[in-house]
Amino acid sequence: MIKIDKLKKVYLTEEVQTTAINEVSLHIKKGEFVSIMGPSGCGKSTLLNVLGLLDDFNSGSYLFNGKEMAKLKETERSKIRKQNIGFIFQNFNLIDELNVYENIELPLLYNGVKSAERKQKVKEILNRMDISHRAKHFPQQLSGGQQQRVAVARALVTEPKLILADEPTGNLDSKNGNEVMELLTDLHAKGATIIMVTHSAYDASFSQKTIALKDGQILSEKSNKKEVSLS
Ligand code: ADP
Ligand code: MG
């Protein structure tokens, strides 16, 4: 599903050049659940943004479902994003002018889902994320943890084929964090491919593979295969 080769991303700000991703090569198969770990500033969010077609890259190659993503026009990127990708942003990126219900309904509207089905899906995920009582509230009226749950609900309500999650439990207590991990695990079981940035070894243990990043490079890749007990 995802194949990147020697991908490089450089930021240039006021003559300071930062190589956020330094020739990373990676292959993620359809249906895989991968987590990415590493210290702050090592390029985790940048990698996720590039994979999610939210950001360009400087060199190397990115094949998404066999198609090269370099130099793609924004209209095409946006189409691929809407049809395939659910993105949970580290900073939530909720729309301030829309209430919780409307924020979550938006991707369903983009995907042409009919009114009755939209209503049912939003209701379902509001319940699951324990934010039904906040449906009419606006993002600025919510706590950080509640905003994160809305961001998770919005990204997952369409049951996307590819889920990119940037620290999806970072602001949550263990109960809500577990609910998010359960939702991700359910969608994985239904066939979704998931790439999740996390600082939590516990959350990473739900994934099949953990990739450690450092200074924009892959330090290690390890499989999280659970031991099969032969009792
Ligand atoms: P992480 O998510 O692992 O904490 P990031 O991917 O956000 O790290 O950042 C990687 C590096 O790229 C950091 O050195 C950061 O300062 C730099 N960086 C990220 N975004 C930008 C940007 N928009 N402009 C300039 N530098 C950036
Ligand atoms: Mg980050």
pLDDT at 71 over 90: no
User: The tokens of 8 are what?
Assistant: 């490089």
Ligand nearest to the CA of 49: 1
Q: What is the pTM of this model?
A: 0.94
How do 85-88 and 162-166 pair as beta strands?
A: parallel
Condensed to tens digits (0 to 9), the pLDDT of residues 83-113 reads 999 999 999 999 999 999 999 999 999 999 9
For all residues of the chain together, what is the average pLDDT? 95
pLDDT at 226 over 80: no
Ligand 1 within 6 A of 18 CB?
Answer: yes
Site to probe by mutation for ligand 1, drawn from 7, 11, 91, 197 as the one with most ligand atoms within 8 Å of Cβ, is: 11
Tokens 């007990």 locate to 229
**pLDDT confidence of residue 72:** 87
Site to probe by mutation for ligand 1, drawn from 15, 45, 54, 219 as the one with most ligand atoms within 8 Å of Cβ, is: 45
Which atom in ligand 1 lies closest to the alpha carbon of residue 12?
A: 25
Condensed to tens digits (0 to 9), the pLDDT of residues 1-57 reads 999 999 999 999 998 999 999 999 999 999 999 999 999 999 999 999 999 999 999
Q: Atom 12 in ligand 1: which residue has the minimum CA distance?
A: 20
Ligand 1 within 6 A of 44 CB?
Answer: yes
Name the nearest CA neighbour of 35 among 227, 221, 225.
221
User: The tokens of 30 are what?
Assistant: 């359809």
Ligand nearest to the CA of 42: 1
